[in-house]
A and B are shown apart, each in its own frame.
Chain A
Amino acid sequence: MTKFAHQVVIVGSGAGGAMAAYELTKAGINVLMLEAGRDYNPKTETPMFKRNADAPLMGAATSDKNFGYYDATVDGGWSVIDEPYTTDDESDFLWWRARMLGGRTNHWGRYSLRFSEHDFKGKSRDGLGADWPFEYADIAPWYDKTESLVGVCGTNTGLDDMPDSPPGVLQPPPTPRIPELLVAAAAKKHGITAVPMHRAVLTRPKDERAACFYATPCGHGCSIGAAFQTTTSLIPMAHKTGHFKLITNAMVKQVNTNDEGKVTGLTYIDKASSEEVTLDSPVVILAASACESARIMLNSASPGHPNGLANSSGQLGRNLMDSTGAGLGATIPALKNRPRYNEDGHTANHLFIPWWGHNEQHKLNFPRGYHFELGTGFREPGAWVSGDFSGYGESLKDEAKANYGASVYFALRGEMLPNEHCYMDIDPDVTDKWGIPVARFHWQWSEHELNQVAHGLQTAKTLLETMGATVGELPPPEQAIAKGGEIIHEVGTARMCDSPTDSVTNQWGQTWDCPNLFVMDGGVFASNPHKNCTLTIMTLAMRNANWLAGQIQQGAL
């Protein structure tokens, strides 16, 4: 191998890390990427067209494969063998990890919604949480570039909770399906609008990636590259620049600093040999996921950084946020025995319900919005058959056939506010297999989130009843709300704000305390709008890696 002198080390190969790697290598900067999991090739490993009948247990979820047998996640899920995490006694928190090249981008939902100007200025609006250190106008061109590169299908809706993209950026969305059209009409009756979802799925070919052929759930991964994941796009593209080198099975233990507190490099465990390897690097970018990056920084305390690396603000690990989640579904009698056709589509929402209450927020008893994703359709039969059954024989089969594709499920995804009870630190008593102290989570929903969920459940009930369903008594929001971390939108642990006293990084993801240490994952989020974090993680990584490239080229770093 020819000598490769890296200028930047990036920890993590998911949405943030891969985008940063592509942007830097494109600018001619040598990047070494470390990934804690194994190498992964979607072209040869994705179970395209595989049927549930061919999988163990009809593809059902198990403790080994938490989202079902064919889910793309490798060596991960709610638990990673030999790499535990803990919670305090009062907290429930779940942390989804993947130990594979491309990280969680291999199985993500691909929902890609821009944040709005009001999302970046929530505190100015209602006094809660924190503002971001820039305006929507600053980041809009980067959303344009990211959407163009990634490939997002959808339409410009003109809604102020869904900023428009410039003409030609979005690809055409797939046509809506019958239950989605029914939901849209029921919602419209109540003044609520359903619109095409924005998804990072190609409906037209791009670069070397094919357009969607409308088969195989995107969560299985996508061998043809239609559903965006870094392993079929940014990582191969970075490789092609000739400025990219990758080491897999490299579990980062800590970032190293010198006597002046400046970052000098990092130490990782080579999982194959269990040996520690120390690397020097002029610049380090952490993009290991919000909680993994914060864990590394908290585990990198030194005399110059006694409370954890770049934690002079005390905000590292704080402000941990997920999206709120809750759901309500019912059988719609009118949809029973409806005419069959292929409803796979791009295998997720063609229509969804964006937040409609933004301009009326002051009249509500919760400060931030939510949206509804819809669960409907003639899905591939699996281990769970919907219906409340009776008897046996021909009548039983008929009942199951009548119920097929007749249910509608509303999945709420909402914005939570940071609060002092939601944070992560390092468990003083537990280390993982590699001897690295583990993350410990603390969690408590506030009335903001509970009131929002109560509102969402009531709205879902109204819409279900409008469609003719019978809906029983609603559960209290404390019961209905998903656990912290369960929606897998955890962000905020190294937030960016205007001031070094209350944030970990500046608007470029550059830590206030160490100019050559950057965070380019969801950790930098100052707030967590309800609009699914990945598009904004990628957009910020592109923008900030571009700025970093300029700094390196100018000799500033």
Chain B
Amino acid sequence: MTNSNPNNSSYGLTRRQSLKLFGMMLASAAVPVLSGCATSESKVSAVASDWPTLTIEPISVAGYGQDPSLIMPPPSPWPKTLTQQQIALVSRLTDILVPASNGQPGALQIGAVDVIDEWVSAPYAQQQRDRDSILRLLIWLDEESVRRFDQPFLAVNESEQFALLDNIAYDRNNIEQRLQQPAAVFNRLRSLVLAAYFCSEAGSREIGYQGNVAISGDYPGPTEEARAHLDGILDELGLSEYAYQP
């Protein structure tokens, strides 16, 4: 299900490279990152930062253009660029974020890592920003893991992985400064993994999307259950007397 183009390994960093860079980190950096809101950017000043400051090469391949086939979308519109090591790390993160449960596949099983790889390998502005920050997050996770447990993220046990993520996965408004950037980018990655999961057939079913089916005759509208639920809401909000009359 995954394949990293071997010709493009130079786009990303291997874990070995990132660990080497760890020793060269400088204090203090201000890098634009995505905040909790996916569309707004903010500068998080990371004093005494351990946020990776290496140069990440942008993607310079062509996009799909202004007239791609909408009937047969290109299955592989541009080369995927994550290295095997990065794929392994993202795969683990997708599995932690949306695990398989109750007979439902999780983000790992539906191939979210492919979606992320396509996303961070795309030549468009939003995706390039995400690429820059997510690749740094992957490096940071390994470095943080080494700092805390003397081993990169995938080499430590599950409870250690959770302990590390717990520091950046909650309450972004009250997080210590050193962790603000990793937390913001983790949030962005989390949104992307959720999107990939709910876009999939299994995820779409699970979230309860019931559309995209042809209906003959008139649109049936809300079910009795949905109408009864609305009546409850109107009552609760004191709006029953204003209910819509066609």
A contact residues vs B (CB 8 Å cutoff): 38, 44-47, 49-58, 60, 62-65, 69-70, 72-77, 80-81, 155, 172, 174-178, 181-182, 184-186, 188-189, 194, 196, 203, 212-216, 220, 334-335, 338-346, 351, 378-385, 388-394, 396-397, 400-401, 404-405, 466-468
Contacts and interface: CB of A to CB of B under 8 A. Distances in A.
B210 A341 contact: yes
Contacts of A397: 98, 194, 197, 206
**6 tightest A-B contacts by CB?**
A344-B211, A340-B208, A175-B221, A188-B242, A184-B244, A381-B198
Contacts of A338: 226, 229-230
A182 B204 contact: no
Interface stretch (B1-9, B41-49, B52-60, B163-171): B163-171
B135 interface: no
Contacts of A341: 210, 222-223, 225-226
Report the interface size class on chain B: 35 or more
A334 B98 contact: no
Nearest to A63: B124
A385 B199 CA distance: 10
Interface string B189-203: 011101111111101
Contacts of B194: 385, 389, 396-397, 400
Interface stretch (B12-20, B83-91, B145-153, B233-241): B233-241
B70 A339 contact: no
A384 B191 CA distance: 7
Nearest to B115: A58
A334 B219 CA distance: 25
Given A77-B66, A189-B239, A389-B187, A177 B195 contact: no
Given A76-B66, A338-B229, A216 B212 contact: yes
Given A51-B199, A56-B73, A75-B66, A392 B169 contact: yes
B171 A392 contact: no
B207 A401 contact: yes
A178 B211 contact: no
A56 B77 contact: yes
A57 B97 contact: no
A391 B170 contact: yes
B25 interface: no
Given A81-B66, A394-B101, A397-B194, 14 more contacts: A62-B126, A64-B64, A181-B244, A186-B237, A188-B244, A340-B209, A341-B226, A342-B211, A345-B221, A351-B244, A383-B192, A392-B96, A393-B97, A467-B237
B132 interface: no
30 contacts: A46-B70, A55-B73, A56-B64, A56-B122, A174-B221, A178-B226, A181-B244, A186-B239, A194-B244, A213-B216, A214-B219, A334-B236, A335-B233, A338-B226, A338-B229, A339-B225, A341-B222, A341-B223, A344-B211, A378-B211, A380-B209, A380-B211, A381-B207, A381-B209, A390-B170, A392-B190, A393-B97, A396-B194, A397-B98, A404-B207
A215 B215 contact: yes
A174 B218 contact: yes
Interface in B54-110: 63-68, 70-71, 73-74, 77, 96-99, 101
Contacts of B198: 381, 385, 400
A76 B65 CA distance: 10
B161 to A, nearest CB: 10
B66 A342 contact: no
A62 B124 contact: yes
A199 B24 CA distance: 62
Nearest to B106: A397
B39 to A, nearest CB: 9
A222 to B, nearest CB: 13
B215 A214 contact: yes
B221 A466 contact: no
A57 B119 contact: yes
A382 B207 contact: no
A374 to B, nearest CB: 13
A74 to B, nearest CB: 5
